[in-house]
Structure 1
Amino acid sequence: MKILARLFLLIALALGAIAPPAIAGDTDPLFINLTTDDQHRANMGISFGKNQLERGHPLTIFLNDKGVLIGAKANAAKYADHQKTLTDLIARGASVLICPMCMKHYGVTEGDLVPGVRVGNPDLTGAALFRDNTKTLTW
């Protein structure tokens, strides 16, 4: 039995060695799951997405968990730069979605959202997340 297990391990290692690396194509979509309300970390995620959008990658930013606070106009004083960048990204074709369950949890209302931010749902969010060749990152 040990010989068979070693044989399977060798085959798996050999196949792994010849498999092509996972490389992003020139226009592969990027889905950023932004869960933080930390100003620096949120800026990192949004800026990374902005840089990739400028390189031709369709961009979706999903404001999730505490990240929903960034999308609320009530927090404009704390997140002025973030909200300006999100608005600019939306104007340039990026999609910014927000988690409705998290909105409810943190007391964010739909009427308080930065213009252009859309409330996610399984179809809308799933379509962005599972688009062919999409790469994902989380902050």
Structure 2
Amino acid sequence: MSRPLVVKVTCGADDPERANQGLTVAATAVSAGAAVSLWLTGEAAWLGVAGREGFTLPQAAPTTDLVAAVAAGGRVTVCTQCAARRGITEADLLPGVRIAGASTFVEEALAPEAQALVY
């Protein structure tokens, strides 16, 4: 079994290439069988909200598909403070997406053998 992967995406449509890289890595790791936890922070928090369009980037998978792939096979979390600043509540989220804070992120990132990446 592969080691846990924690991916934090800190941007969204404001930096689509960097955001898409993080989402692609997370979705690819899920498809490879890794235990993946994707954290959506900053403007990426909007990617966890139901009914909001993601963004498209030439030569890249749509962000909505990537987030759905991770949610189906891993865990997707929207940062508590980021959600609060944007007025996002649990009721706004896509199925399988949760809101959690820094202590949960730190716990996941410091788990034995975990690898954390930030985009």
Name the TM-score, length of structure 2 as normaliser: 0.79
CA contact (8 A) 1:87 1:115 kept: no
Distance 1:31 1:116 in 2: 17
Matched, 1:120 2:100: yes
Match of 2:66 in 1: 85
Letter in 2 for 1:60: S
User: How far 1:29 moved relative to its partner?
Assistant: 0.9
Which stretch of the first structure deviates more once superposed, 49-58 or 95-104? 49-58
Identify the match of residue 61 of structure 1 among 30, 38, 62.
38
The RMSD of aligned alpha carbons is: 2.2
Identify the match of residue 107 of structure 1 among 87, 111, 114.
87
Return structure 1 stretches of 4+ with deviation > 4 angstroms.
Answer: none
User: How far 1:124 moved relative to its partner?
Assistant: 3.7
Which stretch of the first structure deviates more once superposed, 124-133 or 53-62? 124-133
CA contact (8 A) 2:27 2:69 kept: no
Distance 1:28 1:111 in 2: 32
Q: Who wins on radius of gyration, i.e. which is larger?
A: 1
Distance 2:2 2:92 in 1: 33
How many pairs were matched up?
A: 113
CA contact (8 A) 2:38 2:70 kept: no
Match of 1:27 in 2: 2
Distance 1:104 1:31 in 2: 22
Distance 1:102 1:56 in 2: 29
Larger helix proportion, structure 1 or 2?
1
Identify the match of residue 53 of structure 2 among 56, 76, 84.
76
User: How far 1:127 moved relative to its partner?
Assistant: 3.4
CA contact (8 A) 1:87 1:116 kept: no
User: How far 1:77 moved relative to its partner?
Assistant: 5.4
Match of 1:95 in 2: 75
Name the TM-score, length of structure 1 as normaliser: 0.69
Identify the match of residue 51 of structure 1 among 28, 31, 43.
28
User: How far 1:71 moved relative to its partner?
Assistant: 1.3
Distance 2:5 2:54 in 1: 28
* Identical aligned residues as a percent: 22
